[in-house]
Amino acid sequence: MSDKKHREMTSGNFAFAEAMRQINPDVVAAYPITPSTDIPVKFAEFVANGKVDSEYVAVESEHSAITACVGASVAGARVMTASSANGVALMHEVFPIAAAFRAPIVFGLVNRCLGAPVNIHCDHSDSMPERDSGWIQIYCEDAQEVYDTVLLAVRLAEDKDVLTPVFVCQDGFITSHCYEAVEILADETVKKFVGERQAQYPLLDVDHPVSYGSFTMSEYYFEIKRNQMQGMYNVPEVYTRLENELAKETGRKYGMIESYRTEDADYVIVIMSSATGVVKDVVDEMREDGIKAGCIRVRFFRPFPREELVRLVTGKRGVAVLDRCSSIGGTSPLAAEVKAALYGLPQRVPVQEYVFGLGGRDFYPRDAEKVFTRMADGDYSFEPRFIGLLEKEKKVDDNGWN
Amino acid sequence: MSKPQTWQDVPLGTVAFGASALKVETGLWRSIRPIIDLKKCVSCLRCWVQCPDMSIMVDENNKVTGVNTFFCKGCGICAHLCPVKAISMHPESEFIGENADHGEDPGEVGAHVR
């Protein structure tokens, strides 16, 4: 119980579970996997102790978990679940179906690298392959942001102009398991904010029967996809409205993209999730050394906040994109988005792609420092660079290839 | 309801509104057809219960009257479970020239694969 707004020491996972308790979803179907295990485990405890009215469906695999979620969601229920890594990958087949059914599921995705080799630590190789599954993707920096974002995600997903499922992502172990002070709202405040789901075409409304997912050939498949795109395009306006509403209770706003000291910056690092704090610290230090550094944190990866990014980066002398995910044989996901967004600029801004933190490899202030100094030295390459990788030194040739 | 002309008119979420399957002539998929010998039939309704396409027709007294060939896919479950062996399955080629007012002549189905 949370009678009034208070602060407590908790983790990203437990903050997510606490938000779930307050939201009291109709159905949760989950198959626990590290590092998101705490979420369904804690929630199952709430169910067992009568703290929520939810139907908790214990299933035999992640594929079954998300399938049960889709069924419950189109039936008209408010549905939540959580997973990580290979569990997310096993669900892959069902994600585009959930999105096309406009099933507003809220999903706690605790980022963990995809095996093999088996590794439980953080990178974004589990969520990034889902970027084209039609789900909204929000990446949180800390546990407070996770808590606030879950509340927002419920309203955002269910909004009639959006009706799209949401991944609320947080970095495995770094955010999910570290304890920090989190402000928890009163149960009553959350209940009022999230309200009840008003499903448009609930499958259980037998007086108005509908079918979901009927065979649809080339005559309308394309139009259904275009309709999904519109749901995504409507996110910025709806999200801004919801965030303003919740901020009256919390005093906190995150936006779809966060900028730190970018206004007068020459050199900017673009990054996501928990590693942002390190970069912000280094930005302050670089400025003491006379390098005008700045940091942009991409919070929404889908829909990608292209216009805001372009506005923030226009006129800068250099941009370094730090991806916690690689696209083997291609451009890393965040770098690809940033480069695509900046292509339309009349004045080209050089962009350097970096890959860092794969499989939980640590990211240090000295790494961010080096990224800034290389930009200030005009040292760019057409190829990705790797932070913290054990590798032989390479020379940069005249064409800028390292 | 007329067919949507633009993506804005297509219903959300892949939704199809109720009873749309009534318009789909699944009978066109059939290669063998059940024929019920109504003299043998005792109207136990096992076929009516088990038919996956609700194709067994009954009258107001729950007496079996025949098969709805617009929907019947010819799976043969009815013939298999009939306790008095009143139902037999016949290839569609036996019905060539049958006067059907919808779909294609069932007797011509085989023409596509020759």
Q: Looking at the 3D structure of chain A, how many domains does it have?
A: 2
Q: Are residues A215 and A264 in the same domain?
A: no
Q: Are residues A113 and A215 in the same domain?
A: yes
Write down the domain spans for chain B.
22-91
A222–B14 C-beta distance less than 8 A: no
**Per-residue DSSP letters for chain B?**
-PPP-SGGGSPGGG-EETTGGGG--GGGG-SEEEEE-TTT-----HHHHH-TT--EEE-TTS-EEEE-TTT-----HHHHH-TT--EEEEEGGGGTT---SSSS-GGGGGGGG-
Instruction: Give the structural domain span for A129.
Output: 6-250
pLDDT at position B114 is: 34
Q: Which of A68, A235, A217, A89 is nearest to A162 (CA)?
A: A235
Q: Are residues A290 and A327 in the same domain?
A: yes
Kind and range of the H or E element at A257? strand A257-260
Q: How far apart are CA A87 and CA A182, in angstroms?
A: 28
Q: How far apart are CA A25 and CA A5, in angstroms?
A: 21
Q: Are residues A12 and A75 in the same domain?
A: yes
Q: Where are the alpha helices (DSSP H) in A314-382?
A: 333-342, 365-376
Q: How far apart are CA A138 and CA A166, in angstroms?
A: 7
Out of A101, A209, A222, the one facing B13 most closely (by C-beta) is A101
Kind and range of the H or E element at A233? helix A221-233
| Structure confidence by residue, pLDDT tens digits, A170-223 | 999 999 999 999 999 999 999 999 999 999 999 999 898 888 988 888 888 999
Name the closest residue on chain A to residue B8, using Cα atoms: A227
Query: What burial class does residue A378 get, using C-beta atoms within 10 Å of its C-beta: 0-12 exposed, 13-18 middle, 19+ buried?
Result: exposed
Angle at A287 between CA A281 and CA A290, to 5 degrees: 150
Structural Rg of chain A based on CA atoms: 21
Q: Are residues A44 and A167 in the same domain?
A: yes
User: Would residue A295 count as lying in a domain?
Assistant: yes
Beta bridge partners of B90: B33
Q: Are residues A207 and A345 in the same domain?
A: no
A222–B13 C-beta distance less than 8 A: no
With H, G, I as helix, E, B as strand and everything else as coil, classify residue A79: strand
B7–A226 C-beta distance less than 8 A: yes
Domain boundary among A250, A279, A307: A250
A100–B13 C-beta distance less than 8 A: yes
User: Would residue A271 count as lying in a domain?
Assistant: yes
B17–A210 C-beta distance less than 8 A: yes
User: Would residue A400 count as lying in a domain?
Assistant: no
A289's CB contacts (< 8 A; 6+ apart) are none
- Taking the complete model, does pTM exceed 0.90, yes or no? no
Name the closest residue on chain B to residue A202, using Cα atoms: B15
Distance, C-alpha B102 to centroid of its chain: 13
pLDDT band at B25 (very low <50, low <70, confident <90, very high): confident
Chain A / chain B CB contacts < 8 angstroms? 53
User: Would residue A393 count as lying in a domain?
Assistant: no
Query: Residue A304: which CATH number?
Result: 3.40.50.920
User: Would residue A167 count as lying in a domain?
Assistant: yes
> B29 touching A, CB under 8 A?
no
User: Would residue A48 count as lying in a domain?
Assistant: yes
Report chain A's mean pLDDT, rounded to a whole number: 96
Q: Which two tokens stand for residue A258?
A: 């966060």
User: Would residue A402 count as lying in a domain?
Assistant: no
B8–A211 C-beta distance less than 8 A: no
Averaged pLDDT for residues A72-82: 98
User: C-alpha distances in angstroms, A148 versus A18, A19, A127, A268, B43?
Assistant: 11, 8, 20, 27, 63
Out of B7, B8, B18, the one facing A209 most closely (by C-beta) is B18
Instruction: Answer yes or no: is pLDDT of A89 > 60.
Output: yes
A103–B7 C-beta distance less than 8 A: no
| Structure confidence by residue, pLDDT tens digits, A18-61 | 999 999 999 999 999 999 999 999 999 999 999 999 999 999 99
pLDDT at position B108 is: 45
User: C-alpha distances in angstroms, A291 versus A53, A260, A272, A387?
Assistant: 55, 14, 22, 21
B17–A223 C-beta distance less than 8 A: no
User: How many other CB atoms sit within 10 Å of the CB of residue A261?
Assistant: 16
Q: Which of A147, A128, A150 is nearest to A80 (CA)?
A: A150
pLDDT band at B11 (very low <50, low <70, confident <90, very high): confident
Out of A212, A222, A223, the one facing B15 most closely (by C-beta) is A212
Strand pairing category for A79-83 and A27-30: parallel
Q: Are residues A57 and A74 in the same domain?
A: yes
> B18 touching A, CB under 8 A?
yes
Write out residues 282-341 of A within 8 Å (CB-CB) of B: none
Instruction: Answer yes or no: is pLDDT of A399 > 80.
Output: no
Q: Which of A214-228, A281-295, B14-28 has the lowest mean pLDDT?
A: B14-28
Q: Are residues A279 and A178 in the same domain?
A: no
Averaged pLDDT for residues A243-271: 98
Q: Give the residue carrying structure tokens 């995705």.
A: A109
Provide, as residue numbers in chain A, all residues whose Cβ is less than 8 Å from the Cβ of B13.
74, 100-103, 163, 200-201, 212
User: C-alpha distances in angstroms, A334 versus A309, A337, B3, B16?
Assistant: 12, 5, 40, 37
Instruction: Answer yes or no: is pLDDT of A274 > 50.
Output: yes
Write out residues 192-251 of A within 8 Å (CB-CB) of B: 200-201, 208-214, 216, 220, 222-224, 226-227
Name the closest residue on chain B to residue A161, using Cα atoms: B12
Instruction: Answer yes or no: is pLDDT of B98 > 80.
Output: no
Q: Are residues A317 and A279 in the same domain?
A: yes
Does the interface ipTM go beyond 0.90?
no
pLDDT at position A129 is: 98
Give the dihedral of Cα atoms A326, A330, A335, A341; nearest 10 deg: -150
pLDDT at position A395 is: 63
User: Would residue A396 count as lying in a domain?
Assistant: no
pLDDT at position B24 is: 77
Instruction: Answer yes or no: is pLDDT of A402 > 60.
Output: no
pLDDT at position B107 is: 46
pLDDT at position B99 is: 60
Phi and psi torsions of A7, nearest 5°: -110, 140
Q: Which of A110-119, A132-141, A215-224 has the lowest mean pLDDT?
A: A215-224
Q: Are residues A203 and A298 in the same domain?
A: no
Q: Are residues A212 and A301 in the same domain?
A: no
Q: Which of A252, A108, A249, A253 is nearest to A187 (CA)?
A: A249
Phi and psi torsions of A58, nearest 5°: -85, 125
Instruction: Answer yes or no: is pLDDT of B28 > 90.
Output: no
Q: How far apart are CA A314 and CA A83, in angstroms?
A: 37
pLDDT at position B23 is: 73
Averaged pLDDT for residues A65-80: 98
Averaged pLDDT for residues A80-91: 98
* Class of the CATH domain delimited by B22-91: alpha beta
Averaged pLDDT for residues B19-44: 89
Q: Which of A360-369, A372-381, B2-11 has the lowest mean pLDDT?
A: B2-11
pLDDT at position B103 is: 55
Query: Residue A122: which CATH number?
Result: 3.40.50.970
